[in-house]
Amino acid sequence: MANSQINSFILYLKIRAKAYIYKTRHPSFGCGVWSPMLKIRFHGRGGQGVKTSSRILGRAAFLDGFVAQDSPIYGAERRGAPVISFTRISKTPITERGFIFDPDIVIVMDETLLNDWLARPLDGVKKGGAVFVNAQPGFPPPEGHDDKFFITYDLTGRALEILGKPIISSPSAAAAAKITGLITKSSVLEATADELAELDLKDELLEKNIQLAAEVYDAIPSPVINTEESGSITREISPLDYEPVTYEEVIHLDIANLGNSALRRTGNWRIFKPVVDPEKCTGCMVCIIYCPDSCITLNENNKAVIDYDNCKGCMICLRECPLRAISSVREVRVYA
């Protein structure tokens, strides 16, 4: 997309400042130094555009003349499962790859991940770094991270309004780019256009993404990241042959505890939640048959009840209910 086109989008943008910075005890706000490499870690869920965010940021940095590296990590799980991606930005060749353990900036694209014991998005964020959370206004700063900048913005809300979909790759990348204090707006928008065009996005949706990215870039503050290269050895080495790991018997690759998928609380995966209207529900059990995760049962009054601990919000029940007794409500609270 040509620059002039991008600019014309920006012209008619209605910028609505929705950014919130919480006061920080860190004294060097606005006057810090930049360590040789800036490391950004994105935490989100499959389908939100986590990988694409890291790519837009990587390309934007590259367009601005930096050496960049971006990569995702994901497993075999589906849409909604936690996904992590990384961008490294440097003026010199990058001598690292893989997982970023000590990010300067963390972008949490789904606030429910803050309480996820597997994702642990705030692990290792450097002192003087920044934590961005995609959340509704008034979201409280996480405890124990007073020594970092904390920024929130309701990316999902704005994405639903502008794009009509809860996909937030371009605004997440724009937020990260602005927080780095290094990446220009024009590069972010150009990178957004490039990366989304590679995904064969239709022009209209692409334009809306650029509009959203521009809005977020302008609204997010640009704190000066003031972190130091973590030089100390922190993790203890315990070679398997030194540690007294003695196997008296063979360890089979078995899972003896059956029914353990209930332990994985997938209720956090929801962006919308299905709500049953007991007045309309006749207990016909169609939703129970269709629910792919066996999350619906009938209560003593013969009404459908949804297990919100595990319901992923796929909304198949809503589509299948013959009586239209199920509605969709935007999920807003953090599920603990």
Partner 1 sequence: MRDVKTVTSNVSAVEMMRVEMLTGNVAAAWAARLADVDYIPAYPITPQTEIIETLAKWIGEGVMKAKLVQLESEHSMLTAAGTASLTGARVFTATSSQGLFYGFEMLYNISGWRAPLVLVNVSRGVAAPVTLEPDHNDVLAARDSGFLQFHAETCQDVLDLVLLAYRVSEDRRVRLPSIVNMDGFYLSFTREPVHLPSQETVEEFLPPYIPTLPFRASRPVVKGASVLGGHIYTYFKHNIHESMRRAIEVFEEASKHYAELTGRVHEPVEGFKLEDAEYVLVMSNSFTTMGKRAVLRLRERGVPAGLVKIVMYRPFPSAQLAELLKNRKAVAVLDQNISLGMGGIMYQEVAGALYHQRNRPEKLMSVIGGLGGKYISLEEFEYVFNVLQHPEGRDPSTPLFLFRKDELEGVRKALGLAGLGGG
Binding residues for partner 1 (CB under 8 A):
55, 58-59, 62-63, 67-73, 75-76, 94-99, 101, 231, 233-241, 243, 245, 251-257, 260, 263
- Judged by CB, which is closer to partner 1: 93, or 144? 93
Q: Are β-strands 130-134 and 105-108 bridged in parallel, bridged antiparallel, or unpaired? A: parallel
Q: 1 or 94: whose CB is closer to partner 1?
A: 94
Cβ-based nearer residue to partner 1, 24 or 227 = 227
CB of 103 to partner 1, least distance (A): 15
Q: How far is the CB of 214 from partner 1 (least distance, A)?
A: 22
DSSP-based three-state secondary structure for 22: strand
Beta bridge partners of 106: 41, 131
**For residues 274 and 64, what is the distance between their CA atoms, to the nearest angstrom?**
44
Q: How far is the CB of 36 from partner 1 (least distance, A)?
A: 12
213-207-164 Cα angle (round to 5): 80
| Distance of closest approach, residue 223 Cβ to partner 1, in angstroms | 26
Other C-beta atoms closer than 10 Å to the C-beta of 203 total 10
Phi-psi region of 280 (alpha: psi -120 to 50; beta: other; left: phi over 0): alpha
State which amino acid sits at residue 228.
Answer: E
Q: How far is the CB of 41 from partner 1 (least distance, A)?
A: 14
138 or 239: CB nearest partner 1: 239
Inter-residue contact 206 to 1 (CB < 8 Å) = yes
Closer Cβ to partner 1, 84 or 220, answer by number: 84
C-alpha dist (Å) from residue 103 to 37, 87, 99: 10, 10, 10
Tokens of 51: 């990988």
Taking the least distance from each CB to partner 1, the nearer of 47 and 72 is 72
CA distances from 176 to 53, 87, 92, 212, 225 (A): 9, 10, 20, 14, 12
Q: How far is the CB of 45 from partner 1 (least distance, A)?
A: 18
218 and 174 Cβ atoms separated by less than 8 Å? no
CB 257, min distance to partner 1, A: 4
Q: Are 228 and 34 in contact (CB under 8 A)?
A: no
When the beta carbons of 71 and 222 are compared against partner 1, the nearer one is 71
Q: Which is nearer to partner 1, 72 or 181 (CB)?
A: 72
At its nearest, how many Å lie between partner 1 and the CB of residue 294? 20
Nearest to 217 by CA among 8, 18, 3, 2: 18
Residue that is written with structure tokens 């629910």 in the block: 291
Nearest CA to 44 out of 96, 148, 116, 130 is that of: 116
Q: Which residue's CB is nearer to partner 1, number 187 or number 211?
A: 187
Strand-pairing partners, residue 44, are 83
Q: Which residues pair with 305 in a beta bridge?
A: 297
The least CB distance from residue 142 to partner 1, in Å, is 21
